[in-house]
Amino acid sequence: MSRPEDTLPPDLFYNDVESRKYTTSSRIRSIQASMTNRALELLDLQHSSFILDVGCGSGLSGEILTNTEEVDGGPHTWVGMDISSSMLSQALERDVEGDMLLADIGQGVPFRPGSFDAAISISAIQWLCNAESTSEEDAPDRRLKRFFDGLYASLKRGGKAVCQFYPKNAAQRSMISSAAIKAGFGAGILEDDPETKNVKLYLVLTVGGGDITGTVSGLQDVDVMDARRKERQRNGTPADKQKGSKAWIMRKKAQQEAKGKVVKNSSKYTGRKRKIAF
């Protein structure tokens, strides 16, 4: 299936026709609703909050935020940002309760620091990876940086953001998550239905400390794969630094040889332990 991200920039792709199709399709609505509910579950908000909806579109996700029951911590008040004016006019027609801005998230997030309790984004941030012009300012990494820096600043301390997104490939996925980490977020990716066609990725971000794996502790059927541990191992002592290892001996021999000293020939026995005599 072709990706809309590959065809046109979002403000042109979601024209009046496409926006109406998107908003009225019952299939898309049910997928959006389930993803929004999942994101809310991950945010785990205890009381009614002030939420930023990034790429709010026609307010499908916002509607769910408004209608969250009191027992689940709702109802929430939200502010949406979207780049497609057609999508926003769909939202106006549907009379959603949140405020909306026509804005490009790749240009930053125009709110003062500590504005929001949480942020939510459904199927939006992969659009940031498309360069709309050849100018350096518009390069995907700059756009991602401006977005995540802005998002980090606008969330309050201890705030959380959950961004569901559709990366084109593994490179895009790591580009997005590393941009979030560079902005200062604690980041993790939750994968629903992994290795199926319907795989859904949620980038879970926290502002200010705490272990990101704690956010999924309340959920069932979630396996935690900690990439940090692997990283730490990788950053451990490299083979040729460990004194006495074969790689270390070979390095030292090469050093001595370079100095012009006489060095014994290397063989397959070099650096091997001697057999115990008995």
State the residues that interact with other proteins by CB under 8 A.
47-50, 75, 77, 79, 81, 83, 88, 92, 97, 99-104, 107-108, 110-112, 114-116, 133, 135, 137-138, 146, 156
Q: How far is the CB of 158 from other proteins (least distance, A)?
A: 13
Q: How far is the CB of 58 from other proteins (least distance, A)?
A: 12
In angstroms, the CA 121 to CA 197 distance is: 21
Q: How far is the CB of 71 from other proteins (least distance, A)?
A: 13
Q: Which two tokens stand for residue 137?
A: 């300012």
**111 or 166: CB nearest other proteins:** 111
Q: How far is the CB of 15 from other proteins (least distance, A)?
A: 16
**31 or 131: CB nearest other proteins:** 131
Angle at 269 between CA 265 and CA 272, to 5 degrees: 125
Cβ atoms within 10 Å, residue 206? 20
In angstroms, the CA 105 to CA 126 distance is: 11
**113 or 194: CB nearest other proteins:** 113
**194 or 208: CB nearest other proteins:** 208
- Residue 200, SS3 per DSSP: strand
In angstroms, the CA 32 to CA 164 distance is: 10
**DSSP-assigned letter for residue 44:** T
**115 or 213: CB nearest other proteins:** 115
- Nearest in space to 31 (alpha carbons), one of 166, 216, 128, 129: 166
Q: Residues 6 or more apart from 131 whose CB is under 8 A from it?
A: 138, 139, 140
Q: How far is the CB of 235 from other proteins (least distance, A)?
A: 34
In angstroms, the CA 121 to CA 2 distance is: 22
**2 or 46: CB nearest other proteins:** 46
Amino acid present at 30:
S
Q: How far is the CB of 255 from other proteins (least distance, A)?
A: 50
In angstroms, the CA 177 to CA 188 distance is: 8
Dmax (CA) of the chain:
89
**130 or 164: CB nearest other proteins:** 130
Q: How far is the CB of 185 from other proteins (least distance, A)?
A: 19
In angstroms, the CA 178 to CA 188 distance is: 10
